[in-house]
């Protein structure tokens, strides 16, 4: 798995979703329980900030920065470009998360899961569903299965949703992360 390419594809997918964010839509509900679209975009911005921090400084702090009052969709686009540039510049091999070392490729793969699935959440909240490309979802599902533990359920992720074994890769990825492949918006 080429983690740089995976990260690029996830950012491209999410950027296509964020383009649908319009003024007045930030209060809309999302598939992420208890988060409106503004909170989801703030979380995505924090995730991209952490990726950028890890790629450029070799360390991710455990305390998120305070969000400013900015256009959240524009901030996402700007930060996505910065993350891509940082990856292209050639990150180190390891990043410290707090004090724990992590392979930078693992960080990128986990970031790709986060960005893709929340990109899907954004599109759903905007009322413009966009399926996750099957090949991207198929590559992200094993990553998600490696990093989402049972103790994460109910805290960071909802319980998995049952889908048939023959379901499309995007439906299986979303179901594993506690989402139905449709959102009532």
* CA diameter of the chain: 44
Question: What's the pTM value of the predicted model, to 2 decimals?
Answer: 0.91
- Please check the confidence at residue 26 and state whether its pLDDT lies above 70: yes
Contacts of 120 (CB under 8 A, 6+ apart): 17, 31, 130, 132, 170, 174, 179
H helix runs in the chain, sequence order: 3-18, 37-57, 72-88, 104-125, 134-147, 169-176
> At 123, is the pLDDT very low, low, confident or very high (cuts 50, 70, 90)?
very high
Condensed to tens digits (0 to 9), the pLDDT of residues 57-72 reads 888 877 666 656 678 8
Q: Kindly write down the DSSP assignment for every residue of 130-183, as one continuous string.
A: -PPPHHHHHHHHHHHHHH--GGGBTTTBPPP----TTS-HHHHHHHHTT--S--
Asked if 132 and 13 touch (Cβ cutoff 8 Å), the reply is yes
Give the per-residue pLDDT at 65.
Answer: 63
Give the per-residue pLDDT at 182.
Answer: 63
Nearest Cα to Cα of residue 123 among 86, 163, 76, 169: 76
> What's the rounded Cα separation, in Å, for the pair 33 and 104?
30
Give the per-residue pLDDT at 82.
Answer: 95
The mean pLDDT value of the chain amounts to 88
66 CB-side CA count, 13 A: 2
- Please check the confidence at residue 185 and state whether its pLDDT lies above 70: no
Average pLDDT over residues 151-157: 73
> At 148, is the pLDDT very low, low, confident or very high (cuts 50, 70, 90)?
confident
Contacts of 72 (CB under 8 A, 6+ apart): 21, 26, 38, 41, 42, 45
Give the per-residue pLDDT at 66.
Answer: 64
């Amino acid at each position: 798995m080429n983690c740089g390419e995976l990260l690029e594809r996830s950012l491209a997918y999410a950027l296509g979703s964020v383009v649908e964010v319009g003024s007045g839509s930030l209060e809309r509900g999302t598939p992420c329980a208890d988060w409106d679209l503004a909170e989801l975009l703030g979380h995505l911005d924090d995730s991209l900030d952490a990726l950028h921090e890890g790629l450029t400084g070799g360390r991710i702090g455990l305390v998120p920065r305070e969000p400013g009052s900015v256009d959240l969709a524009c901030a996402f686009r700007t930060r996505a470009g910065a993350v891509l540039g940082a990856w292209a510049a050639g990150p180190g091999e390891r990043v410290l998360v707090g004090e724990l070392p992590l392979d930078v490729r693992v960080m990128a793969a986990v970031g790709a899961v986060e960005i893709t699935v929340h990109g899907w959440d954004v599109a759903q909240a905007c009322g413009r569903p966009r399926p996750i490309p099957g090949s991207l979802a198929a590559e992200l599902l094993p990553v998600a299965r490696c990093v989402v533990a049972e103790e994460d359920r109910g805290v960071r992720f909802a319980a998995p949703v049952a889908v048939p074994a023959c379901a499309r890769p995007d439906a299986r990825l979303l179901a594993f992360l506690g989402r139905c492949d449709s959102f009532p918006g």
